[in-house]
Amino acid sequence: MILIPTNPLDLLFWILLLAAFVIEIWAFVDALRHQDGAYRAAGKQSKLIWLLILGVAVVIGLGGAAGRLSLFSILPIAAFIAAAIYLVDVRPRVREFKGRSGGGSSSGPYGPW
C-alpha cells in the first residue's frame, strides 16, 4: 500500500522520491538495452555489475516511492546517486559503441545506416 502524505512538505519529499524512482527505472531499463561488449569497450564495469547496482537502486527507490523510506535516509540518496552516475558517465560512453560490430563497416556517406 502506498502511503501518500497529506502534509505539504512531506508531499514535496514524496514527489522527489517518486521522481528519483522514475530515474532509477530509466537507468535500469537503459542498462538492459546495451550489450555487455559495449561496457567492456567503453572501459566501464560489466553489464552484470551495472544491472545489479541499478536493480538494487530500483528496489530501494520503490521503497521510497511507496512511502516506506525517508528522503533523508542514506539508502534512497545512494540509489539515486548510482542511477545518476550511470546516466551521466556510463550511458554516454556505452552509447558510443551501440551498433558497432567487429565485422565490416555499415557506414554510408552520411553516417551509419
Q: What single string gives the DSSP state of each residue in 15-41? A: HHHHHHHHHHHHHHHHHHHS-HHHHHH
Domain count, the chain: 1
pLDDT score of 44 more than 70: yes
Q: Give me the pLDDT at residue 35, please.
A: 92
Containing domain of residue 41, as a range?
A: 9-97
Residue 17 within a domain: yes
Residue 76 within a domain: yes
Residue 1 within a domain: no
Residue 88 within a domain: yes
Residue 64 within a domain: yes
Q: Give me the pLDDT at residue 104, please.
A: 46
User: How far apart are alpha carbons 5 and 49 in whole angstroms?
Assistant: 35
pLDDT in tens, 57-111: 999 999 988 878 877 789 999 999 999 999 999 999 999 887 554 444 555 566 5
Residue 110 within a domain: no
pLDDT in tens, 20-43: 999 999 999 999 999 999 999 999
pTM score? 0.80
